[in-house]
A and B are shown apart, each in its own frame.
Chain A
Amino acid sequence: MNTLIVISILAIVVLYLGLFKAGKALLPVSVAGLLLALGLALAEWNLNPAPIYKGMMLFDNFAIAFSAITILGTVLILLLSKNYFEKISEHVAEYYTIILFALAGIMVMVSYHNLSMLFIGIEIMSVSLYILAGIKRRDFASNEAALKYFLMGAFSTGFLLFGITLIYGSAHSFDLEVIKQYVLNNANGGISPMFYTGISLMLVGLCFKIGAAPFHFWTPDVYEGSPTLITAFMSTVVKTAGFAAFLRLFITCFAPLADFWVPTIIVITSLTLFIGNITALYQSSFKRMLAYSSISHAGYMLFAIIGLGSAAINAVLVYATAYTIASIIAFAALILVKKQTGSDNYEGFNGLAKNNPFVAFTLTIAMLSLAGIPLTAGFIGKFFMFSSAVAQYQIWLVVIAIINAIIGIFYYFRVIVAMYFKEGKNIILATPIQFKFVLALSAILTVVFGLYPSLISELF
């Protein structure tokens, strides 16, 4: 709870700092505030509290773990944003504020205990993101991204809201506990068709938010059009939050009805994997490739929803952490390369290893992690996902995932091939100290979690 309060107040403080032209203080204050929020979140670990505010929110370990990942991800992204927003516009403080507000929404999303809070959380986050996607006011692509995101987002929110109402209509409550009791009490045939429709509609709404196929069409354009750092924020922190919300709802309320929605999710997962991976294969832009790859990673993370149970929470936690830190490396490297070459394409990475061994090495680790090669966190994530699917005897789904993992290697290795095996223009990247820090920290974390995943996988 304190976390949410601190982040909300922090956002307002940062806004005021902008008002008083304290531009230099923005980043330190934001980062310090977030670290404080992180500390407060971790302090509540294992207290197992009851839902607060008449059952509106529940800050259990699940909420804390996902708060911690999203806050850490945001901190890393903010560290990269030094001197980044300044180039885009003079209203820098607003952007920090909006990111922090989005994070506040995310805090609500990971700790809701009432469907109305889920809706409010998603809206706080989404509205902030609509603005962030369009912060390059004079940039055509950025405007397009914002508009597309807004329309699609509003559309999907409609589905979500309609689903919530139908569920309310059958269970007579927004409270997760009451809905769960309703499901348990009526498990043998007494559940109204309205409730099932509600589940389906919520499924659609949530799949929109996490960018799962066939509801993914907004992702590539939005991710490509938005400024790179915002893309990084959306594809890591926001996606993780979406999964946390998804998982919480389905594990708490809908688990007994698994027979109804698991087939649907299996189809969605397979589609997401194939569409994400095969389309990523044909991209010539690194940024667009990352957008499609984020769709495919959503596919892998959906495995956990099929798996359910505490092992599934672990799996999502590990996967989301691995994916977040690896993606942050990828986006950081992309920002550096784009600054020097002006392009998003793979060609910009040609011969990078020769003069920038450090950036190339960390990016290699990130790509290996995203491809799911052992000794990196990404492999552990995939391993947990596969395990949870095999545990449900979904062997064919795992076979599909294996085929997709193989496809994935092609496009992730394209970057490695470009950096190490191709001749380039001998560019030397100007790597600011905070980039070095973020790259090194993320790479080290990727390898450490790859070698000793018990650090995060034993939380549940």
Chain B
Amino acid sequence: MNLLILIFLPVLGSLLALVAKNYAKQTALLSSLITLAVASYLLCGFTPDASTQYLVNYPWIPQMGINFKAGIDGISMLMVLLTAGLVPIIILSTFKHKYENSGAFYALVLFMQSGLLLVFTALDGFLFYIGWEAALIPIYFICSVWGGENRIQVNMKFFIYTIAGSLFMLLGIIYLHLQTPTNSYDIADFYALTLDSQTQSWLFWCFFLAFAIKMPIFPFHTWQPDTYTAAPTAGTMLLSGIMLKMGIYGVIRWLIPVVPLGFQQWGHLAIILSVTGIVYASIIAFTQKDMKRLIAYSSIAHVGLIAAGIFVWNAQGLQGAMTQMISHGINVVGLFFIADIIISRTNTRKLALLGGIAKPAPKLAIAFLIITLGTVALPLTNGFIGEFLLLNGVYQYCIYYAAVAGLTIIFGSVYMLRMYKAIMQGNTNNLTIDFKDITGTEIVTLFIITFLIIVIGVYPQPILHISDAAINNLISTVNAKL
């Protein structure tokens, strides 16, 4: 019951935002804060063992075996916290913007939050699919209506890519449903299936396609830089901060445990693709002259490492992935927010035209530095622990992959610090001389983000603790079937 409140509160908030007219953003912020409070309440009552808690199970379309079944275990808990925590930050970051038709804008953001929460808690294949799409439709409209140049073609591409992937996933889900002895969509029944390895092989691709496109893993990433660049900043934050985690979560929950034999056949290829993506995206990030595109490519590189950490399928890798999902969510939202502040004041995304902003805007400079350091995984920032565990996990699988994947730390430092240098240091020019430092809600937002970066960096134990039992349980479930 508590979980239902959590999932449907944002829908209520979205309806209120729609009718609130001039107070849409305040309503949306309030709604997202209440959702965060509910999520925190659930966290307080959460026992970090391997069990699924706050279970809800109602018949939905009984004759098709579809139930509204959802629950939270350690893995879901972290994702729920990420979603509930980032949405208020994202909404707060938009406070200085004036969106045309803002009621609809915030309504879509909140509606998307519901979809995301559904994805992260669903324990029924059909419900998972519904949540998956319910998160996609609002973001398509957010990006297409309030986005920048070329937004129509770019978002069409994004929509087609993702829906193509998800339709194949639907095929996989329906097929699995028909194989279960009781014809249900329950994830526990999916886990209990013992299909032959040939069937699992093509089922793996049905699911993998959907998740790989969403993350995105090389070579399914081509929609991502354009979409991130063309989207309004809040949309980019939602996409990069939370939505891509749907893909990662999907791999952990729905791909590997459901088709372990398929994973056994193709997991190696998936790791190669992930590692290739790290190097490929890093190299492209070097050459970017556009701030938003650079961050977009850096995101592909980071996600590549997370994906590699999952596909090696050991405790370190998964722990690292969970931590890094949280850290990456916070960092990338921070980066895009800073990019947004700079773009909206200077009207340019070109690195070459900027420079010396640290002088007129010292507060921004400090925040930007902390976020940059978090992104390049300096020890005592949130990025470090995640990347350390991920590389450790990959190392256990194969030392050479770890060596290549480890390049991400070096590459990441190079392009991130170069970006920092190009924007903040050097001499001020006509464009940046009158740069106004951050004020009001901007300070609040950046303070929260930098605070989280340092706190998680210094004391990541709670995050590891929440998901530990669930991860070990999942790993032993899969290993028993291999």
Contact = CB atoms under 8 A, between A and B. Distances in A.
A421 B144 contact: yes
Given A375-B137, A420-B145, A410 B174 contact: no
Contacts of A413: 156, 159
Given A417-B144, A421-B152, A390 B167 contact: no
Main secondary structure, interface of A, reads helix
A406 B171 contact: no
Given A413-B156, A417-B144, A374 B130 contact: yes
A368 B137 CA distance: 10
B44 interface: no
Contact of B144 (A368, A374, A406, A420): A420
Contact of A390 (B137, B145, B164, B178): B178
Contacts of A383: 170, 174
A391 interface: yes
Contacts of A458: 62-63
Interface in A364-395: 368, 373-375, 379, 383-384, 386-387, 390-391, 395
Contact of B63 (A379, A417, A457): A457
Contact of B61 (A386, A421, A453): A453
A145 B144 CA distance: 39
Contact of B137 (A373, A402, A421, A457): A373
Contacts of B174: 383, 386-387, 390, 398
A398 B160 CA distance: 17
B171 A373 contact: no
A399 B171 CA distance: 8
B337 to A, nearest CB: 25
Interface in B144-199: 144-145, 151-152, 156, 159-160, 163-164, 167-168, 170-171, 174-175, 177-178
Interface string A390-423: 1100010011001001100110010001001100
B171 A395 contact: yes
Given A374-B133, A395-B175, A420-B145, A405 B61 contact: no
Given A374-B133, A374-B134, A417-B152, A387 B64 contact: yes
B171 A398 contact: yes
A457 B65 CA distance: 12
Contacts of B167: 402, 405-406
Contact of B171 (A402, A452, A454): A402
Interface in A409-460: 409-410, 413, 417, 420-421, 452-454, 457-458
A409 B160 contact: yes
A454 B62 contact: yes
B60 interface: yes
A359 to B, nearest CB: 16
Contacts of B152: 417, 421
B18 to A, nearest CB: 11
B133 A386 contact: no
Given A374-B133, A375-B133, A409-B163, A386 B170 contact: yes
Interface in B103-152: 129-130, 133-134, 137, 141, 144-145, 151-152
A421 B151 contact: yes
How many residues of B sit at the interface, in one of the four size bands? 20 to 34
Interface in A88-145: none
Nearest to B104: A357
B105 to A, nearest CB: 13
A406 B177 CA distance: 23
B134 A454 contact: no
A152 to B, nearest CB: 34
A65 to B, nearest CB: 15
B277 to A, nearest CB: 24
A406 B164 contact: yes
A327 B214 CA distance: 31
Contacts of A368: 137
A328 to B, nearest CB: 22
B344 to A, nearest CB: 22
Nearest to A406: B164
A420 B63 CA distance: 38
11 contacts: A373-B133, A386-B170, A395-B175, A399-B168, A406-B163, A410-B160, A417-B144, A417-B156, A454-B63, A457-B61, A457-B64
Interface of A: 314, 368, 373-375, 379, 383-384, 386-387, 390-391, 395, 398-399, 402, 405-406, 409-410, 413, 417, 420-421, 452-454, 457-458
Which 9 A-B residue pairs are closest in the complex by CB-CB distance? A374-B133, A402-B167, A390-B174, A374-B130, A406-B164, A387-B174, A454-B61, A421-B152, A398-B171
Given A406-B164, A410-B156, A454-B63, 18 more contacts: A375-B133, A379-B133, A383-B170, A383-B174, A387-B177, A390-B171, A390-B174, A398-B174, A405-B167, A409-B159, A409-B160, A410-B160, A417-B156, A452-B60, A453-B61, A454-B61, A457-B61, A457-B64
